Structures are given as C-alpha cells and as structure tokens.
C-alpha cells in the first residue's frame, strides 16, 4: 500500500505541471487563446498529475484501462496571448473506487495570475468493454496518497459553481 513517504512527489500540493506555451495555431480571430485550447492545457496538466498516480499512457497499454472525463466546468478569467508561458495546477478534491474529482487552474508563469479554472469529474474505464470499473488497489492507494497531500490545501472557492444569470431582486 502506498503512503506519503514512498510517494514523495505526492507531497507537492497542489501538483504543478511542466511549463507550456500558448501555440500560434491556437489563437482565434479575437487575437487570444481559443477556448478549446484552454482544455488542451488542462488535459496536459491532468495527464502529468495522474501519471504520477500510475494512470499514464503505459497504464492504458499494459492494463487495458484508462480514465475518461465525464463532466467539467470551466471559468475563463483572463486572456492568454500567443507564446504566453503557463503551468497547470491540479488538486485532487476527492475520489472513490471508480471516480476522481479534480480542480485545475491555468496560471501565467511569470506573475502567477489565474487565466482559467476547471473542475472535472473522471471515470475509470475498462478499455475493452468501455465500462466504468473500480481502480486496481495500487492505483487507489496512489490516489489516496495524492488526496491526503492535497487535503492540506484550502477548498477552492470555485468548486460546485453553476452556470446561470444572476438576477437582482426586483
């Protein structure tokens, strides 16, 4: 069973991805990062984080299982121009035997401001049957270690937001 001492990378809270740059092909006609590519950055960040828990590309190839995004909520807070350097932070908020709830932020590298936030729910899937299945014990232990490390962080204020128009009382 994994613990924080045998998994030293999990003690970093939150997980911080490698640096990435906004690519020129991702810029839309408004002159900033197209909204779809924020999700590319989020995906690259979560892939790095979950690879530490054993859920990388080799997991899909050797064990025939992976994880799929089931739901997400993205908030775009600041524009990202071409060539802007960013990192993605990942906080594992919760997990159970089949699901992972994560909170992510895209942060501008030099000054650290938040460009976007994303709350995601992932499902663990058997790739042959394409059905949701429990995590193996070793992966579940790794996720638990990551969650313990991330539990030290404050709960993100943006968790559980909903989309809608706020109306002033009349």
CB-based burial label for 123 (10 Å; 0-12, 13-18, 19+):
middle
Distance of alpha carbon 117 from alpha carbon 107, whole angstroms? 9
Is 24:161 a contact under the CB 8 Å cutoff? no
Q: What percent of the chain has pLDDT over 70?
A: 93
Angle, vertex CA 130, rays to CA 125 and CA 133, nearest 5 = 35
Q: Check residue 170 and give its pLDDT.
A: 78
Q: What residue ranges define each of the domains in the chain, with the CATH number in brackets? A: 16-150 (3.10.129.10)
Phi, psi of 83 (to 5 degrees): 70, 0
Distance of alpha carbon 9 from alpha carbon 16, whole angstroms? 10
55-96 tens-digit pLDDT: 999 999 999 999 999 999 999 999 999 999 999 999 999 999
Angle, vertex CA 112, rays to CA 74 and CA 42, nearest 5 = 30
* Total residue count of the chain as it appears in this document: 170
Q: Check residue 94 and give its pLDDT.
A: 96
Helix (H) or strand (E) holding 59: helix 57-63
Q: Check residue 2 and give its pLDDT.
A: 45
| Count of CB atoms situated within 10 Å of the CB of 134 | 13
91-149 tens-digit pLDDT: 999 999 999 999 999 999 999 999 999 999 999 999 999 999 999 999 999 999 999 99
CA dihedral 148, 41, 51, 60 (to 10 degrees): 130
């Amino acid at each position: 069973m994994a613990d924080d001492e045998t998994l030293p990378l999990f003690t970093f809270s939150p997980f911080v991805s490698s640096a990435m740059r906004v690519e020129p092909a991702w810029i839309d006609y408004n002159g900033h990062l197209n909204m779809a590519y924020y999700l590319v950055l989020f995906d690259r960040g979560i892939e790095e984080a979950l690879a530490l828990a054993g859920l990388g590309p080799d997991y899909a190839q050797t064990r025939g299982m992976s994880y799929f995004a089931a739901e997400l909520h993205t908030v775009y807070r600041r524009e990202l121009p071409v060539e802007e350097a960013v990192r993605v932070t990942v906080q594992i908020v919760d997990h159970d035997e089949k699901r992972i709830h994560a909170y992510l932020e895209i942060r501008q590298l030099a000054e650290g401001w938040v460009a976007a936030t994303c709350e995601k729910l992932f499902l663990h899937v058997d790739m042959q049957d394409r059905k949701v299945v429990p995590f193996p014990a070793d992966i579940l232990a790794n996720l638990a270690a990551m969650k313990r490390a991330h539990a030290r962080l404050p709960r993100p204020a943006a968790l559980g937001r909903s989309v809608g128009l706020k109306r002033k009382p009349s």
